[in-house]
């Protein structure tokens, strides 16, 4: 038994045996450092980069504290966005598979209130939600926190950035004093201290180094005057021809400008920012993840924590405001041994940011030269996949397997042409090779899914 083995912890046996079935064979570094403290009951501040396994760290902690026979809300997890809340809820349900009848409920803005009210009436053990909506339910006395034993703030920095400080404060006030509190954040700007002091009692702090010195990310920096940023971006995209790339901007307006420019060059690019309607955000993320769009032009807030990694390239159209965020951005590429490139454009007035990154990563940044114009002579990369939207989802009991079945069933298309399938409450998306997209659409329009007809559209 190694120190990294989950069985070295005094976790409930039903949790440990399920971890083996999930193929969680060893703890990740943040789990190894934080779980023993969490299980001992300490309050904790945890810092580690995206993808390091923070959800299981607090998720196992709160499941350990949970008494499934007590049918009341025992844990509350606050997340900055609905996507993150959904991811956290999914991970916790996975971790809780060994325990019968655990109810995990998400309460997020942008979702119908009425359905949440009725779910709340049916009761839940664990609530995962965004601060605004959770507070709304609290104020209307539809949610009772008096039996909470574990309170988690996930991605606390983003929550503050999104203006949730007051809502978070108000929620903390309604939680019982006797509880365990856990705060996770990728970065630690100053305001976190104020929330931390309200939330935590004698917290332990755990930090897992966030440098990528041993990874396979190559970082390149390009000194480009502001009025040539767009042209520089085009050169880089033409040189690397990434099938999946996130271009980071610092403002919402910039994401739109850059996306328009890229579209005018023929790239397959979508903007991802906080102004998008939920449906459009979902759709953008789905199309990027299923490889029918190759470039997402995003702000940090909109992209944070999304399960999109293993990018071929990350391009910082603007350098991040702080080095933590920079490291966070580039950490999305070159995961799991695959090779990735991180390109950063900077101009003269960004030099302090460059110095901060040098200090933080303890490295010397060399300027690289942009690719020369000859890269523009080749064709622009276009994705080989397309996306079809189907007008039925979980609420209609449509599952991924049903969609695959409808597509590939007799005289259908070969399953090797079918990509990712994402099922939402009232709709679903399926990625298919463009070559068979028309046939796939026809098959869905004319056929049935689980005996029922649904509308289907090609998304462009």
Q: Is 81 in the site for ligand ADP (CB under 6 A)?
A: no
Long-range own/partner contacts, residues 260-266 (CB < 8 A, 24 or more apart):
261/230, 261/233, 261/234, 262/233, 262/234, 262/237, 262/295, 262/297, 265/234, 265/380, 266/380, 266/382
Question: What is the C-alpha to C-alpha distance for residues 243 and 260, in angstroms, rounded to an integer?
Answer: 19
53 vs 80 by CB, closer to ligand ADP: 53
Q: How far apart are CA 225 and CA 348, in angstroms?
A: 7
Q: Which stretch binds ligand ADP (CB under 6 A): 47-55, 123-131, 216-224, 321-329?
A: 47-55
For residue 75, the surrounding DSSP H or E stretch is: strand 75-78
Q: From residue 25, how far is each of 28, 54, 59, 267 by CA, in Å?
A: 9, 16, 16, 41
Distance of closest approach, residue 134 Cβ to ligand ADP, in angstroms: 19
Stretch that binds ligand ADP, among 25-33, 322-330, 415-423, 445-453 (CB under 6 A): 25-33
Figure out which of the listed residues 9, 11, 15, 56 binds ligand ADP, where binding follows CB under 6 A.
56
Q: Using CB distances below 5 to 8 A depending on partner kind, what does residue 27 bind out of Mg ion, ligand ADP, none?
A: ligand ADP
64, 12 in Cβ contact below 8 A? yes
Binding residues for ligand ADP, total number by CB under 6 A: 14
CB-wise, 54 or 353, nearer to ligand ADP? 54
Among 8, 14, 36, 51, binds ligand ADP (CB under 6 A): 51
50 binds ligand ADP (CB under 6 A): yes
Looking at the Cβ atoms of 160 and 345, the one nearer to Mg ion is: 160
| 15-42 residues labelled b (16+ CB within 10 A) or e (exposed) | bbebbeeeebeebbebbbbbbbbbeeeb
Which of these ranges, 45-53, 139-147, 201-209, 234-242, lies near ligand ADP under the rule CB under 6 A? 45-53
- The distance of closest approach from Cβ of residue 106 to ligand ADP in the complex, given in angstroms and rounded to an integer, is 15
By C-beta, is 53 or 393 nearer to ligand ADP? 53
Q: Is the dihedral of CA 372, 378, 380, 386 positive or negative?
A: negative
> Which residues have a Cβ under 8 Å from the Cβ of 74 and sit 6 or more positions away?
62, 65, 66, 67, 125, 126, 147, 148, 149, 150
In angstroms, what is the minimal distance from the CB of 239 to Mg ion?
32
Q: What is the Cα–Cα distance from 84 to 106, expressed in whole angstroms?
A: 11
Cα→Cα distances 216→2, 247, 302, 330, 406, Å: 27, 19, 25, 11, 41
Stretch touching Mg ion by CB under 5 A, among 31-39, 46-54, 121-129, 157-165: 46-54
Q: Is 53 in the site for ligand ADP (CB under 6 A)?
A: yes
Interface with ligand ADP includes 24 (CB under 6 A)? Answer: yes
**58 part of the interface to ligand ADP, by CB under 6 A:** no
The alpha-carbon radius of gyration of the chain (Å, integer) is 23
Tokens of 407: 């597509």
Residues 304-343 that bind Mg ion (CB under 5 A): 305
Using the structure block, give the residue that is written with the tokens 């490291």: 327
| Stretch of residues binding ligand ADP (CB under 6 A), selected from 22-30, 268-276, 379-387, 421-429 | 22-30
Binding residue for ligand ADP, selected from 28, 34, 259, 356, defined by CB under 6 A: 28
Smallest gap, in angstroms, from Cβ of residue 33 to Mg ion? 16
Site string for ligand ADP, 288-307 (x = CB under 6 A): -----------------x--
Q: Say how far apart CA 182 and CA 193 lie, in whole Å.
A: 13
Is 36 a binding residue for ligand ADP by CB under 6 A? The answer is: no
Binding site for Mg ion (CB under 5 A): 54, 305
Residues that bind ligand ADP (CB under 6 A): 24, 27-28, 31, 48, 50-56, 91, 305
């Amino acid at each position: 038994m190694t120190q990294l083995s989950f069985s070295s912890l005094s976790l409930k046996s039903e949790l440990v045996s399920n971890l083996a079935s999930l193929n969680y064979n060893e703890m990740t570094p943040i789990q190894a450092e934080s779980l023993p403290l969490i299980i001992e009951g300490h309050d904790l501040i945890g810092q580690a980069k995206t993808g390091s396994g923070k959800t299981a760290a607090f998720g196992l902690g709160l499941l350990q504290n949970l008494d499934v026979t007590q049918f009341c809300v025992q844990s509350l997890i606050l997340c900055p966005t609905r996507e993150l809340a959904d991811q956290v809820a999914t991970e916790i349900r996975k971790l809780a598979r060994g325990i019968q009848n655990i109810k995990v409920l998400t309460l997020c803005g942008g979702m119908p209130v009425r359905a949440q009210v009725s779910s709340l009436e049916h009761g839940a053990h664990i609530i995962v939600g965004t601060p605004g909506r959770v507070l709304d339910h609290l104020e209307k006395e539809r949610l009772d926190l008096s039996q909470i034993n574990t309170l988690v703030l996930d991605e606390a920095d983003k929550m503050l950035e999104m203006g949730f400080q007051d809502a978070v404060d108000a929620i903390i006030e309604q939680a019982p004093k006797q509880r365990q509190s856990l705060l996770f954040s990728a970065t630690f700007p100053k305001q976190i201290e104020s929330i931390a002091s309200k939330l935590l009692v004698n917290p332990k702090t755990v930090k897992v180094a966030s440098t990528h010195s041993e990874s396979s990310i190559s970082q390149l920096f390009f000194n480009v005057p502001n009025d040539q940023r767009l042209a520089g971006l085009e050169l880089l995209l033409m040189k690397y021809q990434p099938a999946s790339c996130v271009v980071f901007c610092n403002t919402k307006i910039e994401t739109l400008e850059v996306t328009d420019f890229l579209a005018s060059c023929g790239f397959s690019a979508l903007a991802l920012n906080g102004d998008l309607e939920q449906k459009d955000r979902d759709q953008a993320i789905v199309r990027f993840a299923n490889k029918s769009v190759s470039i997402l032009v995003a702000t940090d807030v909109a992209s944070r924590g999304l399960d999109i990694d293993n990018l071929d390239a990350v391009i910082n159209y603007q350098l991040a405001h702080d080095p933590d965020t920079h490291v966070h951005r580039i950490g999305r590429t070159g995961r799991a041994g695959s090779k990735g490139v991180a390109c950063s454009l900077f101009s003269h007035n960004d030099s302090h940011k460059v110095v901060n990154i040098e200090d933080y990563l303890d490295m010397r940044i060399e300027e690289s030269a942009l690719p020369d114009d000859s890269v523009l002579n080749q064709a622009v990369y276009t994705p080989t996949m397309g996306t079809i939207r189907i007008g039925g989802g979980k609420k209609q009991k449509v599952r991924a397997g049903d969609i695959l079945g409808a597509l590939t069933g007799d005289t259908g298309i070969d399953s090797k042409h079918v990509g990712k399938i994402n099922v939402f409450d009232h709709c679903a998306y399926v990625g298919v090779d463009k070559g068979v997209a028309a046939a796939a659409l026809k098959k869905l329009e004319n056929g049935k899914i689980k005996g029922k007809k649904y509308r289907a559209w090609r998304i462009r």
